[in-house]
Structure 1
Amino acid sequence: MSDLVAQVSRHLRAVQTLQEMALDAKLLPLIQGVQAWQTLRMQSTHQAQMNNSYTAPAMVFFTEQIYGPKDFSQRDAQIKRVVPKMHRYLPSKALLSLESALRLHALSYELDYVLALELKKHATTANQQLSISHRTDANKRVIINQQTYAAAFVSGHNGHLRQEQISLLQELGNNLSDAVAIKGVAMMLALSKHPARMKGLQTLHLFLQDGYKAFKKIPNSQSFMSEIVSREAHLVASLFTEQVFSQQGTNPLPCIPSVEILLES
């Protein structure tokens, strides 16, 4: 149990360090843009699950609580406050689910940071090669779309971390499935709602409650996770093949609206 608590603290520190680095490098808006585009991408890739009333809450949980551009500083601050005593509030399987979620979020943020750097580098190079002297914001403008995202994704050269990200997604799904099966979890969450609010832990409580409710609705969580993981693994493998950017190849990413970010000077 103490190891899990230590790991939770480590994941929180990792994200905080990356956020401070992003702030210093003025990359936060671009990282948020990456996360916003990725949310649209996941919703498109897994449209069938998004349109299914049983699995949609779990997809929303993943896209909003793990991959999306939401500000998690309040939630993370609340977790930090209770980390030393967390084992008193959560069953071991629930704590394991929380650790899995934070570990996945930390790795995802690291990958988003690298992807944002690549997008900025590619955009700067492209703008310098074009005759766009009439645009004063040329070197600050980054467009995230099917092509630019794919190019930045591949040039990050972190295929092993992408595979780890998918494995962690599978692990989180398994842990959440185990957690919702614990007898009395629903009652525990209901009874702890008021104390959590009184102690200023309502954001953390809402995070745990959303995860529980999302997976409780799924009739067959193993089948659900298998479909999600299979599609994500296929997408990553396709992006890292040489054929993707050849004339014969096709971009496996869905064609969704672009996101435009103006970087700070």
Structure 2
Amino acid sequence: MYRERLVATEARTESARRLQKLLLDYHDFRHLKATHPLLENASHIADWQAERLKTTHEDLYHHPGYHHGLEFLLTDLYAPAGMTHRDDNIDRVFPKMVKWLPDNLLDTFAGLVELNLITQRLDLELAELFHLQSVPAHSLTTEDYCAAYRESRLLDQREKQISLVADVGQQLDRYVRNRTLGWLLSMTRGPAEMADLRDLHSFLHRGYSAFRKMDDVELLIDRLVSREQQVMRNILNHHPDPFSLPESL
């Protein structure tokens, strides 16, 4: 809907140009996905993977110091569905973002957009692989999932997905330690609602609140990354129980 605005905006810095390109890529992908015949299958896969992540990281998910951060990661950053209006609003306010935000914040937004784009591309590719193999996406097994995973042509993107979780998580942690951000979010709630940016503002506020409540974001990120790297190795090496992890992780 706002593609023309993205294209017409002058991006003067490398960070602004990176965000602009990613938003254009994500905009085009969202429109492709919206009319894709396997859209519902991709949604089932996203739900399956979100539950798998909760199980793999169950100790962290139920830890009072990390629960809110992981919930935000799975429901907002991973965002399998229901975020179309929020994403449209990011496109809509892009001209103001590149005018008023510093490059480090633009880089963080770019990381969030890229993480969402890669994740949803991977889900859609799995839906296509399951379709080719006549595997029902609404009743996946671990064996089905791992077999399709190994057939992926985007394994490099899976590696990047994991590294982006680390990069974005660490950047967000630095920002939420700034009390000024919390004050600004409180002060801008009314104007955001008046400008029909309620969902975008809510997303930012949930992220701020979730990360503020976490005990040790660096420890959480290190564990998530180490575990997901091990899961990837397990799957590619045909481990009989790919989601089992050593106690040291």
Displacement after TM superposition at 1:49 (Å): 1.2
Q: Judge conservation of contact 1:97–1:179 (CA < 8 Å) in 2.
A: no
Q: Could you list the runs of 5+ residues in structure 2 that have no partner in the other structure?
A: 1-11, 245-249
Q: TM-score w.r.t. structure 1 length?
A: 0.81
Change (3 A) 1:73 1:25: closer
1:230 aligns to 2:235 (yes or no):
no
The alpha-carbon distance between structure 1 residues 196 and 5, as it changes in their structure 2 partners (threshold 3 A), is: farther
Alignment-derived partner of residue 64 in structure 2 = 53
Q: 2:21 aligns with which of 10, 14, 17?
A: 10
Give the Cα separation in 2 of the matches to 1:72 and 1:156.
Answer: 26
Give the percent of matched residue pairs that are identical in Structure 1 and Structure 2. Answer: 24
In structure 2, the residue corresponding to 1:225 is in which secondary structure? Answer: helix
Q: What amino acid does structure 2 have at the position aligned with 1:10?
A: K
CA distance in 2, matches of 1:33, 1:251: 22
Q: Tell me which amino acid in the other structure corresponds to 1:168.
A: L
| Structure with larger Rg | 1
The match for 1:170 is 166
The answer on 1:145 being equivalent to 2:135 is no
Kindly tell me: are residues 141 and 53 of structure 1, through their superposed partners in 2, closer, same or farther at Cα, counting changes over 3 Å?
closer
Q: CA deviation at 1:30?
A: 0.9
Paired amino acid for 2:40: P
Q: How many residues align?
A: 233
Q: Determine if the alignment matches structure 1 residue 155 to structure 2 residue 155.
A: no
Q: Specify the alignment match of 2:114 in structure 1.
A: 103
Equivalent residues of 1:193, 1:205 under 8 A apart: yes
Over residues 42-100 of structure 1, what are the superposed CA-to-partner deviations in whole Å (9 max), with x where a residue is unaligned? 11111111101221111111111122422221011111111011145655544433221
- Return the TM-score normalized by structure 2: 0.86
Q: 1: distance between equivalents of 2:78 and 2:22?
A: 15
Q: Please tell me whether the aligned partners of residues 123 and 142 of structure 1 are also in contact (alpha carbons under 8 angstroms).
A: no
| 1:4-153 aligned within 5 A | 4-87=15-98, 90=101, 92-123=103-134, 143-153=139-149
SS in 2 for 1:113: helix
Contact 1:93 1:178 in 2 (8 A): no
Inter-partner Cα distance in structure 1 for 2:104 and 2:157: 25
Counterpart code for 1:232? E
Q: How far 1:183 sits from its partner (Å)?
A: 4.0
**Aligned equivalents of 2:137 and 2:182: distance in 1?**
47
Q: CA deviation at 1:101?
A: 1.0
TM superposition shift of 1:164: 0.8
Task: Flag structure 1 segments of 5+ consecutive residues without an equivalent.
Answer: 125-139, 255-265
Separation in structure 1 between the aligned mates of residue 133 and residue 99 of structure 2, nearest angstrom: 48
1:200 — aligned with what? 196
State the 1:21 CA deviation.
3.1
